[in-house]
Structure 1
Amino acid sequence: MSSILTNSSAMVALQTLKTINGNMNKVQSEISTGKTVSTARDNAAVWAISKVMESDVKGFKGISDSLALGSSSLSVAREAAEKIEGLLNNMKEKIVSAQSENVPREKLQTDVEALRNQIAGIVSGAQFSALNLVSGTQDVKFLASLDRSDTGVSTSDITVARQDLSAGNGTLGVSTGSPQILAGVAVITGNITAPVDSAGTAVTSITNGANSARMAGAALAAGASATIKINGQTVTFTNDTGAGMTAAATATRMISEINKLGVEGVTAVLNGTTDIDIQSTRAFEQVTVEHVAGLAAPTIPTAGQGTVSGAVATISQRAESYVFGGNAVKDGDGYTLNVGGVAYSYVAGKGETVEDVVRGLKISIDSGNVPGLTTKVGQSATGAWQLHIDNSSDTNRAIAASSGTVNGKASGGLFGLDAIDVTTVEGARAALSNIETMINKAIDAAAEFGSAQGRIDTQTGFVSSLTDAMTAGIGTLVDADMEEASARLQALQVQQQLGIQALSIANQQPQNLLALFR
């Protein structure tokens, strides 16, 4: 049935043409924007996912900036630490030269001070964007990643530990009460034990004399020999007088033979008429005396100056020793030793160990440049760290009660640098051991900075790759396939032309009804 009121063919052709035009508009939008999903109307789920990922990409670009800043800051700090290490080695060269007797010490000290000032300048100037990693102890965090999970978004940081290469003395914190360390009482976290002699009696002063072992002379028959060993070196003589030697004569002859041996720090003297006192002024070494033949077995004449085991006497070192336990050391823990009426302190920094505390106290004492007062760091047979303190001055030096504090400001990593003095033999010798500690601190700092910089550079590369991967993923979700869009556009253009033609034909059909009424 035909109708002049309702043209079904035209309606169908019109709807088809509208659909074609709609698809054509969509394809043209894809071509002009380059995206299949440019608004939430196109595909709400995909659009939402892409926008979240785009937000993360922008965040990672900010992280890249943070990592670049961190890498630059660490580069400056590492260069500073390496330069400081080189200057400390130059200073060591001056200190080694000062070990000789006939050197211009004042000129060497001038060179040392110039190097010291240069190091101080590097420490104060080694900053990037107002961040100085070679001064202070607080950790620094650099933003490293965004972590998205079901519960939301969080961040991850790369933590870099400052490496303090300043020469500051630090500041003692609050007292822990009265943590006396005499007689082995613990002080804060270090478990420091005050010196005791070989008999286990607490030592209250550092003497300036010699420790000794005693051997009684004995009558020696003609042709007989007397033999002892001092630190493994044999001292012997044979009675070639043709007659027996009295105990006094034997003692006198053995004393002569011992002194001719020329063992450093060891001399023999006559005590009474027949006793031989073998005296040691060695500060940091024990001396063994072994009876082999011809004399009486050795003894220790003064309690606490050595031990005897069978035919062997061990003369104790002259220095007195503080023993440090292996407990943890906390940032800000302060340790003070009182020697000769002077308090010598060191405040531990973050991550430092018992060894660092012992070496810090050694530097503190050496920095006082007290004539005759020398120190040495060592370890006991059980591995406990020890600080040996010797006194070669004219008077004894008292050891008073010492104390501990907490929550102080840490001493600088190059603590004691300002006090290096090579104008005296004692100062030059102390400086030689202390400069090694400082060089190791600078080496460790440069290594830490280098390791942290390597980690940041690795993270920078990962963030860059991750950003590229996410950008590519977003493109996969929303970008248009231009080859497909081009082919679809051409097809839709043909369909549009056909649709227009079909609509034109459909619109002509009612006019054909006029012929029926002619």
Structure 2
Amino acid sequence: MASILTNASALTALQSLSATNKSLEMTQARISTGYRVAEASDNAAYWSIATTMRSDKSSLSVVKDALGLGAGKVDTAYSVTNDTVKIVNLIKDKLVAAVGASAADKAKIQVEITAFQLQLKTAADGAVFSGANWLSVDTTTGQTTPGTHDDAQIVSAFTRNAAGKIALQTIDINVQSVKLYDAFGTATNVEKGILDGLRLATSGVRDNTATAAAGGTVAATDGYAVSTLTVVGFNDTQIQQMLNVVDAAARELTDAATNLGAAKTRIDLQKNATQALMDSIDRGVGQLVDADMNQESTRLQALQVQQQLGIQALSIANSNSQNILALFK
């Protein structure tokens, strides 16, 4: 039936053209943004997953920065501790030279030992990175127990379990075991640092029963600290005890450097693992929401042809009404 009120052909052609235009707009949006799923209306499930994964990647980026900051603190303490071991060994060499030396020679040797002691304190005080110093501390305040330094924590991982609950993991540094000096005035010998804690002359171990030794007199509770020992006025027996003390301190310093080195290695490994995880998230998100540009370019060309054909079909359908006029001539 021919009608001038209802043009069924034109309506059909218009619907087809509208659908083509809609598909064309979608394809053009994918090409311009690069996303197949750019917002929730495109695919709610994929968009939700991708949004959560992007948020987790952002948190992992912060974790990576925290690991970098922690690595700087560990590197600083590690480097100074290594240098400290060398200087303490030099002090040990001077003590060996002091055995059997005259009083005048001991005074000269002490000048060198004092210089080494000052260098140890200067190096420890300067082992600061981002406001943190793990070698020269003051546990008077700010710690759970005064005299004992709390563990330093470095955020190392950000995880989300199957239920969506977030958890943070840390790498803990036992600062109490690596500190060299502690300014806390009433700290016990055991609580003090490796270099300023009094050590029993007999065992070389930091001990709360140790008392400062007096020159020329040997007592069972004689104690020495690497930071304050002096050979002036002390006999050969006491100097040999000092050697025992310095050697024990050197062993503790070696252990401290080992622990810091292990933490350094772990941080480096975790940084690499975090970066690999971030890359994996990028790939996973890309597979969910990225547009296949080869596919979209092919679809664009096809839709452009369909659009042209749709316009042509609509034009033909609209011209059908004009043909009705021929019936009245």
Short-chain TM bin: 0.7 to 0.9
In structure 2, the CA distance between the partners of 1:449 and 1:119, relative to structure 1 (3 Å rule), is same
Deviation of residue 484 (structure 1)? 0.4
Q: Distance in 2 between matches of 1:466 and 1:27?
A: 31
Question: Does the CA contact (< 8 Å) of 1:166 and 1:415 recur in 2?
Answer: no
Report the equivalent of 2:20: 20
In structure 2, the CA distance between the partners of 1:415 and 1:513, relative to structure 1 (3 Å rule), is farther
Question: Does the CA contact (< 8 Å) of 2:213 and 2:224 recur in 1?
Answer: no
Question: Does the CA contact (< 8 Å) of 1:167 and 1:417 recur in 2?
Answer: no
Q: Distance in 2 between matches of 1:41 and 1:15?
A: 22
Question: Does the CA contact (< 8 Å) of 1:134 and 1:165 recur in 2?
Answer: yes
Does 2:276 match 1:458? no
Question: Does the CA contact (< 8 Å) of 1:85 and 1:442 recur in 2?
Answer: yes
Report the equivalent of 2:2: 2
How do residues 150-161 of structure 1 correspond to structure 2 at under 5 angstroms? 150-161=163-174
Q: Distance in 2 between matches of 1:481 and 1:151?
A: 30
Deviation of residue 512 (structure 1)? 1.5
Q: Distance in 1 between matches of 2:239 and 2:66?
A: 46
Question: Does the CA contact (< 8 Å) of 2:190 and 2:208 recur in 1?
Answer: no
Q: Distance in 2 between matches of 1:3 and 1:83?
A: 100
Report the equivalent of 1:347: 190
Does 2:147 match 1:146? no
Q: Which runs of 5+ in 2 are unaligned?
A: 138-148, 194-198
Q: Distance in 1 between matches of 2:300 and 2:215?
A: 95
Does 2:183 match 1:372? no
Deviation of residue 167 (structure 1)? 6.6
Question: Does the CA contact (< 8 Å) of 2:229 and 2:242 recur in 1?
Answer: yes
CA deviation profile, 1:42-62 (whole Å, cap 9, x unmatched): 112211111111111111111
Report the equivalent of 2:144: none
Q: Distance in 1 between matches of 2:209 and 2:238?
A: 11
Higher strand proportion:
1
Report the equivalent of 2:228: 419
Q: Distance in 2 between matches of 1:349 and 1:474?
A: 52
Does 2:326 match 1:511? no
Does 2:325 match 1:485? no
Q: Distance in 2 between matches of 1:439 and 1:170?
A: 24
CA deviation profile, 1:341-398 (whole Å, cap 9, x unmatched): xxxxx33479xxxxx9962139934x322533255xxxxxxxxxxxxx69xxxxxxxx
Report the equivalent of 1:279: none
Question: Does the CA contact (< 8 Å) of 2:158 and 2:168 recur in 1?
Answer: yes
How do residues 18-417 of structure 1 correspond to structure 2 at under 5 angstroms? 18-102=18-102, 104-136=105-137, 137-149=149-161, 150-162=163-175, 163-166=178-181, 171=186, 346-348=189-191, 359-361=205-207, 364-365=210-211, 367-369=212-214, 371-375=216-220, 416-417=225-226
Q: Distance in 1 between matches of 2:210 and 2:107?
A: 23
State the one-letter code of the partner of 2:95. Answer: I
In structure 2, the CA distance between the partners of 1:469 and 1:415, relative to structure 1 (3 Å rule), is farther
Deviation of residue 456 (structure 1)? 0.6
In structure 2, the CA distance between the partners of 1:6 and 1:415, relative to structure 1 (3 Å rule), is farther
CA deviation profile, 1:3-36 (whole Å, cap 9, x unmatched): 1111111100000000000000000001111111
Does 2:278 match 1:435? no
State the one-letter code of the partner of 1:138. Answer: D
Percent of pairs with identical residues: 35
Describe the SS at the equivalent of 2:172.
strand
In structure 2, the CA distance between the partners of 1:415 and 1:37, relative to structure 1 (3 Å rule), is farther
RMSD: 2.3
Q: Distance in 2 between matches of 1:418 and 1:125?
A: 16
Q: Distance in 2 between matches of 1:168 and 1:28?
A: 68
CA deviation profile, 1:250-277 (whole Å, cap 9, x unmatched): xxxxxxxxxxxxxxxxxxxxxxxxxxxx
Question: Does the CA contact (< 8 Å) of 2:20 and 2:307 recur in 1?
Answer: yes
Does 2:317 match 1:471? no
Q: Which runs of 5+ in 1 are unaligned?
A: 173-333, 335-345, 351-355, 376-388, 391-413
TM-score, normalised to structure 2, is: 0.86
TM-score, normalised to structure 1, is: 0.56
Higher helix proportion:
2
Describe the SS at the equivalent of 1:75.
helix
Question: Does the CA contact (< 8 Å) of 1:169 and 1:415 recur in 2?
Answer: no
Q: Distance in 1 between matches of 2:289 and 2:171?
A: 34
State the one-letter code of the partner of 2:190. Answer: V
In structure 2, the CA distance between the partners of 1:415 and 1:495, relative to structure 1 (3 Å rule), is farther
In structure 2, the CA distance between the partners of 1:167 and 1:32, relative to structure 1 (3 Å rule), is closer
- Report which of the two structures shows the higher radius of gyration computed on alpha carbons: 1
Deviation of residue 168 (structure 1)? 5.7
Question: Does the CA contact (< 8 Å) of 2:53 and 2:285 recur in 1?
Answer: yes
Q: Distance in 1 between matches of 2:71 and 2:325?
A: 88
Describe the SS at the equivalent of 2:156.
strand
Q: Distance in 1 between matches of 2:230 and 2:45?
A: 75
Larger deviation: 452-461 or 162-171? 162-171
Query: Would you say how many aligned residue pairs link Structure 1 and Structure 2?
Result: 304
Deviation of residue 134 (structure 1)? 1.4
State the one-letter code of the partner of 2:180. Answer: L
Question: Does the CA contact (< 8 Å) of 2:85 and 2:254 recur in 1?
Answer: yes
Deviation of residue 170 (structure 1)? 5.8
